[in-house]
Amino acid sequence: MQEDQLLKMLKDLTDAKGISGFEAEARKVMNTYIAPYADEVYTDRLGSLVAKKTGSQEGPKIMVAGHLDEIGFMVTSIDKKGFLRFQTVGGWWGQVMLAQRVTVVTENGEVPGIIGSKPPHILTPEARKKPVEIKDMFIDIGAESKEQAEEFGVRPGDAIVPVCEFTVMKNEKLLMAKAWDNRIGCAIAIDVLRLLKDVDHPNTVYGVGTVQEEVGLRGAKTSAALIQPDIGFGVDVGIAGDTPGISENEALAKMGNGPQIVLYDASMIAHKGLRDFVVKTADEHNIPYQFESMAGGGTDSGAIHLTANGVPSLSITVATRYIHTHAAILHRDDYENAVKLIVEVIKKLDKDTVSTITYS
């Protein structure tokens, strides 16, 4: 893929508005980019996108899943003065939310807004020292009344999306955007199918964009039930431990040092046979990688590996700064090396190899 085409794909994916439960726009973008490399594209009944590519022989089914949804908010009510009350959708830390721009997606179009609260100037000295609780925040869309907000098209249940346009930073290896969690996983799935387009591989590959990961790995459950894979890869973002104040005991990974092979998280223990096979493949092809373990959190692999009678699964992630905020940063090399690693692994996953991995 040419440079300008790659950057356009990443921009289109991350600029798309698609919080959990409202992934249609992001799904449409992913479909546009992955369809040319697939034999068939369809969805499950929750809306997860599945792009199927059959290899040179009938073999194991390999699922590569990134999730379409991003964290955001939902309108719950409109007060008399036209301010919106809202519910978080996905995990938010209140300290990163105030004064941030948002877009309310209505049936009549998009409405810009900003997250507000009481100004510190009128708070007591004690109150100023405490973080504002999310329940005390509101969204200002510039409406002068509830009626005017409704004239704008705003209704309870509307999605509210963070604002941060895709940006190539001055160091052009670093890319900033909203929704890297997890449109980078969707981009990896697209690129894996692209690089396998004219390559013989002894299996059937499914590039998947799942829905509602941020609220409970829901789309991974339904799409894996539909596919019934033999091997599963959850591709997502991980913690970058290279910013001030983070010790190596808290987070080891550094942007630019390769994709993360996740040994353990709250949703899954990595399948030992598959983990060892991926590490051996990376070493054989001189692809850099890092190990990661997280006491909390999880990826779609957590749902995939529990499908039917079990699916050997592994999470491969891209170290990313400031996840679950309006703007995150990742390193392009980590993305490209994640794609290379998964492609090289898939090339070798024939029936006998998968059987050996499964029972090792």
pLDDT 10s digits, 226-261: 999 999 999 999 999 999 999 888 888 999 999 999
pLDDT digits (tens, 9 = 90+) for 199-226: 999 999 999 999 999 999 999 999 999 9
How far is the C-alpha of 206 from the C-alpha of 358, rounded, in Å?
19
Tell me, what's the pLDDT at 249? 84
Whether the pLDDT of residue 360 is over 80: the answer is no
Read off the pLDDT of each residue in 78-83 and give the average, rounded to a whole number.
Answer: 98
Q: What is the pLDDT of residue 252?
A: 87
Q: Which of 218-227, 256-265, 293-302, 339-348 has the lowest mean pLDDT?
A: 293-302
Secondary structure string (H, E, C) spanning the chain: CCHHHHHHHHHHHHHCCCECCCCHHHHHHHHHHHHHHCCEEEECCCCCEEEEEECCCCCCEEEEEEECCECEEEEEEECCCCCEEEEEECCCCHHHCCCCEEEEEECCEEEEEEEECCCHHHCCHHHHCCCCCHHHCEEECCCCCHHHHHHCCCCCCCEEEECCCCEECCCCCEEEECCHHHHHHHHHHHHHHHHCCCCCCCCEEEEEEECCCCCCCHHHHHHHHHHCCCEEEEEEEEECCCCCCCCCCCCCCCCCCCCEEEEEECCEECCHHHHHHHHHHHHHCCCCCEEEECCCCCCCHHHHCCCCCCCCEEEEEEEEECCCCCCEEEEHHHHHHHHHHHHHHHHHCCHHHHHHHHCC
Half-sphere exposure of 182 (CA within 13 A, CB side): 34
pLDDT, mean of residues 295-311: 94
> pLDDT tens, 270-296?
999 999 999 999 999 999 999 999 888
Would you state the pLDDT for residue 61? 97
Asked if residue 57 has pLDDT above 80, the reply is no
pLDDT over 80 (residue 1)? no
**Distances in whole angstroms, Cα of residue 99 to Cα of each of 17, 41, 96, 116, 171:** 20, 40, 9, 6, 27
**CA distance to 3, 97, 103, per residue, from 134 (Å):** 41, 8, 18
Measured from the Cβ of residue 136, the count of other Cβ atoms closer than 10 Å reads 9
Mean pLDDT across 331-360: 96
**Which residues are known catalytic residues?**
213
The two three-digit tokens of residue 108, written as one number: 């009549």
**Mean of the per-residue pLDDT values of the chain:** 96
> Is a pLDDT exceeding 90 seen at residue 87?
yes
Residue at token pair 């969690």: 181
Q: Which of 233, 239, 291 is nearest to 261 (CA)?
A: 291
Closest CA to 316 of 342, 297, 340: 342
Among residues of the chain, what percentage have pLDDT more than 70?
A: 100
User: Token digits for 110?
Assistant: 């998009």
- pLDDT for 3 equals 87
Q: In the structure encoding, which two tokens stand for residue 285, read together?
A: 């092809």
40-54: pLDDT as tens digits: 999 999 999 999 999
> Is the distance from CB of 281 to CB of 348 less than 8 angstroms?
yes
Distance CA 338, CA 258 (A): 7
pTM of the predicted model over 0.75:
yes
- Give the domains, in start order, of the chain with CATH numbers: 3-70+178-358 (3.40.630.10), 72-162 (2.40.30.40)
**Position 186 pLDDT exceeds 80:** yes
Report whether pLDDT(162) > 80: yes
Q: Does position 137 have pLDDT exceeding 90, yes or no?
A: yes
Q: How confident is the model at residue 359 (pLDDT cuts 50, 70, 90)?
A: confident
At 139-159, the pLDDT tens digits run: 999 999 999 999 999 999 999
Return left, alpha or beta for 153; rule: phi > 0 is left, psi -120 to 50 is alpha, else beta: left
321 pLDDT band, cuts 50/70/90, is very high
Question: What is the per-residue pLDDT for 255?
Answer: 98
